[in-house]
Amino acid sequence: MSLKTSIAAVALALTAAPALAAEGERVQITGEIIDTWCYFSGVMGGPEAVVGSAHHTCALWCSAGGIPVGLLGDDGEVYMVLKINGDDQSASGDTQLTLASHEIVADGMLYKRDGLNYLVVEAVVEDRGITNLNHEDFGVVPGFAIPKPKK
Amino acid sequence: MKKLIAALAILATPLATSVAAQDFSEGSTAKSWNLYAEVPATFEAEVVDILCTVAGDCAAQCAEGRQLGLLRSADNVLVFPNKNSQSSFNGAAYDLHPYCGKMVDVDGLLIEDEDIQGATNIYLVQKIKEAGAADWAKANKWTKVWAAKHPEAKGKGPWFRRDPRVNAIIADTGHLGQGLSPEEAYEITR
């Protein structure tokens, strides 16, 4: 290998490597499908209040509105869902919408980049429905999610 | 030769480290949302298909409905725009979609919250333009795109009260997902 070739190879490796897709890891994660903006931003309160039944209507709105959904794992990590059961419509897709606030067991591939976890869910192994009944503690979040009944 | 290659590798490491600590708030005119961990940030980036970039699933890259990211030029960090500038539960994919594969300038709010696990490199994009262009576009397309897709849902009130898919789910399982009527759900949450 000539000097020029070696230098070019090293330079190419240094610049091209970050652009390549990361190596994935097969995982099985149990957790709740959440809306990530409310969770990360704190715009509607603390993390405990923007999950579960209390936040279910808002989770539907956010998912339908194209806000990324995540799987909040039992380990406390958030896994940004990029594809689920073959559906790559991660911005307002039907599959993720029907799972809003549900506790699921997901089998798929995990990728990590720049502090975020990304998950390609190949199969929802189990759908347990909404199991976090935190409306008993927090009511509904946000408060206007359930319209006042007309008399 | 080995020494030369090693030297190049060593040179690259501190460069990347110093850029990573860069402050992107200079020049930003982003409006505050009064969020605890928001930081104004304007930067140049390539709009990328995240599924392609992180998982190599590129056959349908940049197709509508896939989440798009911002691959920041200064440090090659992948920033995830979770939100556009609208205040009604809207993501940023529609605003970024016309620019997929292109270099852009963006302005908005970065979320970096050490108290919430994983809250890093999350972004609310408020303005976007092709890199170097003069005029900014507001990142507020979502509701217009939704209205064009759902002419049958035209009516009074915000889109999220009229969305057919959301309303079908609520009609089926209720606002709390527990099968309660709106009246029952309202009463037990007051």
In degrees, rounded to 5, the angle at the alpha carbon of residue B66 between the alpha carbons of residues B163 and B131 is 110
Residue A23 is predicted with a pLDDT of 83
Using CB atoms, pick whichever of B50, B60, B176 lies closest to residue A135. B176
Q: List chain B pLDDT tens, one digit each, 190 residues.
A: 444 444 444 444 444 444 445 799 999 999 999 999 999 999 999 999 999 999 999 999 999 999 999 999 999 999 999 999 999 999 999 999 999 999 999 999 999 999 999 999 999 999 999 999 999 999 999 999 999 999 999 999 999 999 999 999 999 999 999 999 999 999 999 9
B94 and A CB contact within 8 Å: yes
- % of residues, chain A, pLDDT over 90: 83
A45 and chain B: CB distance < 8 Å anywhere? Answer: no
DSSP secondary structure letter of residue B164: H
The reply to whether A89 touches chain B by the CB within 8 Å rule is yes
Helix (H) or strand (E) holding A119: strand A116-127
Query: Mean pLDDT over residues A115-126, rounded?
Result: 98
Mean pLDDT value of segment A86-115: 97
User: β-strand B78-83 against B122-130: which pairing, if any?
Assistant: parallel
Which of B141, B142, B128 is CA-nearest to residue A62?
Answer: B142
State residue A20's pLDDT score. 58
Is residue A5 predicted with pLDDT exceeding 70?
A: no
pLDDT of residue B8: 44
Q: Into how many domains does chain A fold?
A: 1
Within B34-119, strands assigned E span 38-49, 68-72, 78-83, 103-111
Query: Residue B161: which residues within 8 A CB-CB, separation 6 or more?
Result: A147, B167
Question: Does residue A3 carry a pLDDT above 50?
Answer: no
pLDDT averaged over chain A?
A: 89
Which residue range is the domain that position A88 belongs to?
Answer: 22-145
Residue A99 forms part of a structural domain: yes
Number of other CB atoms surrounding residue A142 within 10 Å: 18
**Which residues 13-42 in chain A show a CB within 8 A of chain B?**
14, 18-19, 21-22, 24, 36-37, 39-42
Task: Note the pLDDT of residue A91.
Answer: 97
The residue of chain B nearest to residue A130, with distances taken between CA atoms, is B177
**Quick check: helix, strand or coil at residue B51?**
helix
Residue carrying the six token digits 């979502």: B142
Residue A119 pLDDT greater than 80, yes or no: yes
Domains and CATH numbers, chain B: 22-140 (2.40.50), 150-188 (no CATH)
**Partners of A103 in beta bridges:** A32
